């Protein structure tokens, strides 16, 4: 379905400046390259356009926020309501005095890592290995290489479905490993990171390159995937448990538990979301049977089954 101007969409989208797609395949917007259609798929032109949309959004319209589409499985039956894509319209990134970096939710994590390094600020080089947007990293406390996003968060701003913005110091927001507690129907607009000044001889680009090389050597980065599927249980690793259960390389349709890293499921080209979810269910069941450990998904699973 080709894009059409927002003023030709439903009444609550008329007069807005963003781009509307109707019955848009989510396979075009997720890194797994699967998923049914979204009833409405809206990319705001900027922050003010987003706020105007939220202010007029009917209360019975389901809302789904998507950044770069990683860490997300959309079922084959698709999504009712509206998907709001932040990756293009919410892309401001600025560095302020006092070693503080601000970014809106649509900025990629990799861009934040690079900008910080360019400004001789250190702490978030690991974000180069997080294949998603800053909003998603804030919403789930994403991490890599022993670093976590909320280690560095000074404050965040979020918005409710009426378009009301509020700013909250990190101490006011409960967060833990791969978990952040936000009020219902509240979405992150951006956040401030309090970073450290790099010392003499700092080579930020080299550190980022090292993280990326380590990621490429241990993860199936060239395949369609959504990142780590399961959280690591306390004191253990999901990949080890899945491999111990004999599931490395297990297939369902055109989806496969990666032979490179067992906590990744890859789409070899024609997998459906149901194929992927079958493997998620299989891994949970077999790990529970073999070790008694209940794996918890790190990826979000939304939408209706076909």
The CATH number that applies at residue 281 is 3.90.78.10
| The pLDDT of residue 15 | 87
Domain boundary among 85, 107, 138: 85
Query: What's the mean pLDDT in 152-170?
Result: 96
Residue 9 in this model has a pLDDT that exceeds 90: no
Mean pLDDT of the chain: 94
298 is catalytic: yes
The catalytic residue among 228, 252, 258, 262 is: 228
Q: What pLDDT was estimated at residue 201? A: 85
Task: Could you list the beta-strand ranges (E) of 229-294.
Answer: 251-252, 255-257, 265-267
Of 85, 108, 140, the domain-final residue: 85
The pLDDT tens digits of the residues spanning 130-145 come to 999 999 999 999 998 8
- Do 296 and 201 belong together in one domain? no
Pick the catalytic residue: 24, 104, 277, 298? 298
The residue among 69, 85, 101 that closes a domain is 85
Asked whether residue 215 is assigned to any structural domain, the reply reads no
**pLDDT attached to residue 7:** 41
Give the structural domain span for 246: 220-302
Determine the distance from the C-alpha atom of residue 91 to the mean position of all C-alpha atoms in its chain, rounded to a whole number: 15
Selecting among 85, 178, 215, 284, the annotated active-site residue is 178
Q: How many domains does the chain have?
A: 3
What Å distances lie between residue 245 and 274, 280, 288, 294, 306, CA to CA? 21, 13, 9, 13, 29
Asked if 50 and 11 count as a contact pair (C-beta separation under 8 A), the reply is no
> How many residues comprise the chain?
306
Q: Is 228 a catalytic residue?
A: yes
**175 occurs within a structural domain:** yes
Residues 170, 152 share a domain: yes
pLDDT in tens, 245-279: 999 999 999 999 999 999 999 999 999 999 999 99
Give the SS3 label for residue 36. Answer: coil
pLDDT recorded at residue 8: 58
What pLDDT does 161 receive? 92
Q: Are residues 152 and 116 in the same domain?
A: yes
């Amino acid at each position: 379905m080709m894009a059409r101007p927002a003023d030709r969409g439903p009444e609550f989208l008329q007069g807005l400046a963003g781009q509307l797609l109707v019955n848009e395949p989510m396979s075009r917007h997720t890194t797994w390259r699967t998923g049914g259609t979204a009833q409405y798929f809206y990319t705001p032109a900027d922050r003010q356009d987003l706020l105007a949309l939220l202010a007029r959004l009917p209360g019975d319209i389901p809302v789904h926020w998507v950044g770069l589409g990683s860490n997300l499985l959309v079922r084959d039956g698709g999504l009712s309501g509206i998907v709001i894509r932040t990756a293009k319209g919410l892309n401001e990134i600025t560095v302020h005095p006092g070693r503080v970096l601000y970014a809106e939710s649509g900025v990629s994590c990799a861009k934040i890592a690079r900008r910080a390094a360019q400004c001789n600020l250190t702490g978030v080089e690991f974000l180069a290995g997080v294949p998603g947007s800053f909003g998603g990293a804030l919403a789930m406390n994403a991490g890599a290489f022993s670093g976590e996003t909320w280690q560095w968060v000074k404050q965040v701003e979020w918005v409710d479905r009426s378009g009301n913005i509020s700013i909250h110091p990190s101490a006011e927001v409960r967060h833990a490993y791969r978990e952040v507690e936000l009020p219902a129907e509240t979405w992150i607009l951006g956040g401030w990171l309090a970073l450290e000044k790099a010392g003499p001889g700092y080579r930020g680009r080299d550190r980022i390159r090292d993280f990326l090389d380590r990621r490429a050597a241990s993860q199936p980065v060239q395949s369609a995937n959504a990142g780590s599927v399961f959280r690591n249980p306390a004191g253990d690793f999901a990949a080890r448990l899945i491999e111990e259960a004999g599931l490395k390389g297990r297939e369902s349709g055109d989806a496969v538990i990666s032979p490179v890293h067992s906590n990744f499921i890859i789409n070899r080209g024609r997998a459906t979301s149901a194929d992927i979810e079958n493997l998620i269910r299989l891994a949970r069941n077999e790990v529970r049977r073999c070790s008694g450990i209940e794996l918890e998904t790190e990826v979000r699973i939304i939408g209706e089954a076909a």
